[in-house]
Homo-oligomer: A and B are copies of this chain.
Amino acid sequence: MSSHFKTTARPTIIDVAEAAGVSKSTVSRVLQGDAASVKPDTRRAVTRAIRKLGYEHNAIASMLRTARTFMVMLITPDIANPFWSEVARGLQDTLERPGYSVVVGNGDQDSERENAFLKTARRNRFDGIAINPTKIHRRTLLATGIPTVILGIRDGFAGLDMVGSDSFQGAFEALTYLYQMGHRRIGFIDGRYVTEQGRARAQAYAEFLKQHNLEPDPSLKVEVPFDRAGGQRGMRVLLSLAHRPTAVFASNDILALAAMQTAQEAGLNVPRDLSIIGMDDIYPTAMTMPGLTTMAKQKYETGCQAARLLLERIEGTALREARRCALPCQLVERGSVAPRS
């Protein structure tokens, strides 16, 4: 007769045990699907009691005891950026099956915010972290003691799993594609974060020029910040040249789209007067006129792969070497590139 009156609140496994005439241990076993070690009859009795009482498993209590939370923290510069929300989607979709939830944080390229999320991950004993670090260093990440995967291929994060795109290969193939279309004078709008990144693309540009015996012309390469204004400025500079390029490669689609818009506003016909190629393949590239030809990054797949590496670390038995997984970029032809006329 004990818990007849007190239980206005949510029932616990003890209530279930009582109702089923077994011990809480047995209920726990049923809950964990420990099929092997509980008699079918008992199992039935327990499940019936569970349904009857409307029992719902308390994940919090379970977390405390098992020290496993089935929570993963995702830290990106900005989840509202279509690039990262695609990655997030892949991560979530893959982690959902084995029962993990994903908390997303907007690091905002801000050291304090990034650290705040890391702190949350530690305090809440998260099982894993996926992060595109902008201000956070390797040591800080390692110090959490939480399995972590770096989103993007970056130097200075030895010992951590990494998954991102092969920007060198992507940039190189983009340039080669323009070359094959007959272009020889190729402009390069090079986006730069505050933190040194994107070196790969610049290296690819240099390497490309070398391989094709093209004379490097410094005026064809313009460095700008990674945003719309940067793309505008980059294009304006290139258009102001006495000897204009016939094609332009931009470090990412934001830059490329802004550049294309700027060229169009200046009265140029893309691709007839000027070819443009970008990188990433974000959402809006299909919506412009013409559509933007670009080297697509496997964003969704990046998320999926990151999730898989994370799961290996979290649930894996034997610890293995850190892996560096660079997914290849792929050309998507839309309409912003034409043969040189």
Contacts and interface: CB of A to CB of B under 8 A. Distances in A.
Instruction: Report the contact-size class of chain A (Cβ under 8 Å from the partner).
Output: 35 or more
A122 B56 contact: yes
Interface string A53-64: 000111111011
Given A60-B60, A64-B60, A288-B289, A103 B106 contact: no
Interface SS majority for chain A: helix
Contact of A288 (B56, B78, B88, B287): B287
A258 interface: yes
A196 to B, nearest CB: 27
A104 interface: yes
B103 A124 contact: no
Interface string A62-74: 0110000101000
Contact of A283 (B101, B116, B284, B286): B284
Nearest to A144: B56
Contact of A124 (B86, B101, B258, B283): B101
Interface in A35-85: 56-61, 63-64, 69, 71, 78-80, 82, 85
A5 B124 CA distance: 25
A201 interface: no
Interface of A: 56-61, 63-64, 69, 71, 78-80, 82, 85-86, 88-89, 92-93, 96, 101-106, 116, 120, 122-125, 228, 257-258, 260-261, 264-265, 283-284, 286-289
18 contacts: A58-B123, A59-B123, A60-B64, A60-B125, A79-B85, A80-B85, A80-B86, A82-B283, A89-B106, A96-B116, A101-B103, A102-B104, A228-B286, A265-B289, A284-B287, A287-B287, A287-B288, A288-B289
